Amino acid sequence: MSEQPKPKQAIRRFDVFAEYNKLKSVHEGRPLEEAKGYGLWLAKVVASRRYGAGSQRKSPQTRERSSAEGETPAEHERFRSLEGVPQTDELFDREIVARMGDRFYHEVFAPAIADHFSHGHRYEDIRDIVRQGGSPPPGRGARLPLSVPGALRIGLAPLH
């Protein structure tokens, strides 16, 4: 029996946010390739605001307001860009998947996040569990194992 895979590097909130928004985007009907790019793009936009690497680009909310105010938005963008670099599925695979390791991503991380997403758990709750090393936030229920082998190793437990 092979040992459970471990991440090559620590799991970041950024990784959880990108994965969660990838799943949300797929759930809303976006193809997987585009959803990966969108999840990565959104994580970078939010991170740049939070950590002061401000940008001149419009936020998704500003784009919607501009559209409502009569500006014509670009036709459906397959991949959004940051500083001229398209945020693609290949970039997601390099910056998220390869960073933590392909096997760990596919066998542990992605299934665990998908399980939480399918149960309607909010990003903030999943993020907090990861940050607290597997203990749900106060008032969120007991720590229970996931059906995904090794999921508790990265601190992901259901919020029942």
* % residues pLDDT > 70 (the chain): 64
- Listed in order, strand segments (DSSP E) in the chain are 81-82, 85-86
Rounded Cα–Cα distance for residues 72 and 51 (Å): 30
For 7-27, what is the mean pLDDT?
95
Q: Which residue has tokens 């740049």?
A: 48
For 115-138, what is the mean pLDDT?
79
Q: Is the dihedral of CA 25, 29, 30, 32 positive or negative?
A: positive
Q: Is the pTM of this model over 0.85?
A: no
pLDDT digits (tens, 9 = 90+) for 67-96: 334 333 354 578 898 888 999 999 999 999
Q: Picking from 34-38, 39-43, 47-51, 142-146, which range would have the lowest pLDDT averaged per residue? A: 142-146
Q: Which of 52, 57, 24, 30 is nearest to 126 (CA)?
A: 24
Rounded Cα–Cα distance for residues 101 and 10 (Å): 11
Rounded Cα–Cα distance for residues 45 and 91 (Å): 15
Rounded Cα–Cα distance for residues 56 and 152 (Å): 40
Q: 145 falls in which pLDDT band (50, 70, 90)?
A: very low
In degrees, rounded to 5, the angle at the alpha carbon of residue 136 between the alpha carbons of residues 130 and 141 is 155
Q: Which of 77, 44, 75, 45 is nearest to 61 (CA)?
A: 45
| CB contact at 8 A, 7 and 104 | yes
Q: Which of 99, 106, 108, 130 is nearest to 17 (CA)?
A: 130
Q: In angstroms, how far is the first alpha carbon of the chain from the final one?
A: 30
- Whether residue 44 is predicted with pLDDT greater than 80 in this model: the reply is yes
What is the residue extent of each domain of the chain?
11-100, 101-160
The residue among 129 and 12 whose pLDDT is bigger is: 12
- Res 36: pLDDT: 97
HSE-up of residue 157 (Cα within 13 Å, Cβ side): 18
